[in-house]
Amino acid sequence: MIFKCINCGAEYPVSPETYLCPICSKNNDAKHPPLGVLQTVYDYNKLKTTPDLFSYLEAEAFLPLLPVNHKQSFSSLRVGKTPMYEFKLGNKTLFLKDDSQNPTYSYKDRASNLVSAFAKENKITTIATASTGNAGSSLAGICASQGQQAIIFVPASAPKAKLTQIMMYGATLVPVEGTYDDCFELSIAASKQFGWYNRNTAYNPLTIEGKKTASYEIFTDMHKQAPDFIFVPVGDGVIISGIYRGFEDLLKLGIINKIPTIVAVQSAGSSNLVGNLGSNQPQFSASNTIADSIAVDVPRNYYMAKKFLEKYEGKGVIVEDSEILEAASDLSQNYGLFTEPASAAAYAGYQKYAGKFGFPKNSKIVIQLTGSGLKDLDAVKSISKFPRAIKPKLNEVEKFLEERKK
């Protein structure tokens, strides 16, 4: 197992000291996506000879495809193995993979769990990260369950629920008067200075590896079949790369013979990956969307995500904030799934794609949901108008119901 630079191909040992390729990252600046992100490479040929390979991998908690040696290194919390709900809609089937049902209520737990396990095997007790909210609350919760110390750098303006979660888990919360980018650089400098392990998204290659486990589960959930389409919300592009990584593993091991069509969904107020697909002169503009978890100015895993989308003919969809809010209502009211806007964006993307291109007959479509609606109540304020309070009298109820009809 090795780390390989996605830009120059240089190889590095898998170690807690290795983050970005030192050659390619030399001239990185905050205005452009970082070069030198590392991808983990495995010896597929050796694994391929194993009989009944997928069952073996499942039984081994996929350890042969992860940079961790022992199952006990992972958190004892139930990370992943999230619900998959199936709905027959005309001649297509919709599958909702609900990652809000992770221990800290977001997809980020998949990455935090691997980073934490890897730290444990390397005798590291303190892990730092920059976060806009979910990565921080996730690392804080997973570290709490593992007896590790978490240090979380966040913009002081992050959503209150996520900050409260970080505090409740007993992590060291470092609010920074600055942007997420400021937090990112500061957390790396502080990690070097104080000898902490760093979980920053895409900067730490294990964040990408950790996020691939959803693909294995989707394959299991669908009775050892790959879907035709997967809709994925995209901010920094680590979840989507992780999902590609997972299916690519299965492809390279001969377990599947085709990568699903993966559709990257971004908000119109933050479309710095989808907006640049097919272009060699990328433009990056400041983000402004209610979906704070996918509000990203310069995607940290831009090059890897773009490469995957181009290699496997993935697609991109851009949705408006109003469509995200509608999707959030629709998911809540028609499926009982209350997810945060970044997560509802995936469903909005599916609806938009359905309207624009439609789907071939008998398509199996997965919507990857990523975070709980309770994490960001302010975002849905505009569509959840609370009714007036009434006196505890029966005739008041009748009046109230009449009013509601109008």
Ligand X SMILES: *Cc1c(COP(=O)(O)O)cnc(C)c1O
Binding site for Zn ion (CB under 5 A): 5, 7-8, 10, 21, 23-24, 36
What type of residue is 288? N
By C-beta, is 57 or 273 nearer to ligand X?
Answer: 273
Per partner kind, with CB cut-offs from 5 to 8 A, the member of ligand X, Zn ion, none near residue 24 is Zn ion
Reading the block at residue 258, the tokens are 């085709």
CB of 249 to ligand X, least distance (A): 18
By C-beta, is 253 or 319 nearer to ligand X?
Answer: 319
By C-beta, is 73 or 261 nearer to ligand X?
Answer: 261
CB of 294 to ligand X, least distance (A): 5
Task: Using alpha carbons, select from 193, 188, 192, 168 the residue that is nearest to residue 176.
Answer: 188
Task: Using alpha carbons, select from 207, 245, 241 the residue that is nearest to residue 110.
Answer: 207
CB of 300 to Zn ion, least distance (A): 16
Residue numbers 292-311 binding ligand X by CB under 6 A: 293-294
By C-beta, is 23 or 30 nearer to Zn ion?
Answer: 23
For residue 116, the surrounding DSSP H or E stretch is: helix 108-121
* Rg (alpha carbons) of the chain, rounded to whole number: 21
What type of residue is 175? P
Residue numbers 82-111 binding ligand X by CB under 6 A: 106-108
By C-beta, is 8 or 397 nearer to Zn ion?
Answer: 8
Q: Sign of the C-alpha dihedral, residues 79, 372, 304, 31? A: negative
Q: What is the largest CA-CA distance in the chain?
A: 76
Per partner kind, with CB cut-offs from 5 to 8 A, the member of Zn ion, ligand X, none near residue 82 is none
Per partner kind, with CB cut-offs from 5 to 8 A, the member of ligand X, Zn ion, none near residue 134 is ligand X
Binding mask 113-152 for ligand X (x = CB under 6 A): ---------------------x------------------
Task: Give the number of other Cβ atoms within 10 Å of residue 355's Cβ.
Answer: 8
CB of 20 to ligand X, least distance (A): 17
**Binding test (CB under 6 A) with ligand X, winner from 98, 221, 340, 376:** 340
Q: Is 235 in the site for ligand X (CB under 6 A)?
A: yes
CB of 335 to ligand X, least distance (A): 17
**Binding test (CB under 6 A) with ligand X, winner from 140, 143, 158, 234:** 234
Query: What values do phi and psi take at 369, rounded to 5?
Result: -90, 145
Which among 16-24, 146-154, 229-237, 317-325 is the span making contact with ligand X, rule CB under 6 A?
229-237
Task: Using alpha carbons, select from 289, 247, 252 the residue that is nearest to residue 272.
Answer: 289
In angstroms, rounded to a whole number, what is the distance separating the alpha carbons of residues 298 and 267?
14
Residues with Cβ within 8 Å of 203's Cβ and at least 6 positions away in sequence, in order, are 19, 20, 34, 37, 184, 188, 300
Reading the block at residue 345, the tokens are 């964006």
Q: Sign of the C-alpha dihedral, residues 251, 255, 258, 259? A: negative
Q: Is 373 in the site for ligand X (CB under 6 A)?
A: no
Q: Is 328 in the site for ligand X (CB under 6 A)?
A: no
CB of 316 to ligand X, least distance (A): 13
CB of 6 to Zn ion, least distance (A): 8
Q: At what angle do helices 321-335 and 341-356 cross, to 10 degrees?
A: 100
Q: Is 272 in the site for ligand X (CB under 6 A)?
A: no
Per partner kind, with CB cut-offs from 5 to 8 A, the member of ligand X, Zn ion, none near residue 7 is Zn ion
Residues with Cβ within 8 Å of 56's Cβ and at least 6 positions away in sequence, in order, are 50
Which among 58-66, 158-166, 237-245, 307-315 is the span making contact with ligand X, rule CB under 6 A?
237-245
Query: What values do phi and psi take at 367, rounded to 5?
Result: -105, 120
Residues that bind ligand X (CB under 6 A): 106-108, 134, 233-239, 293-294, 340, 342-343, 370-371
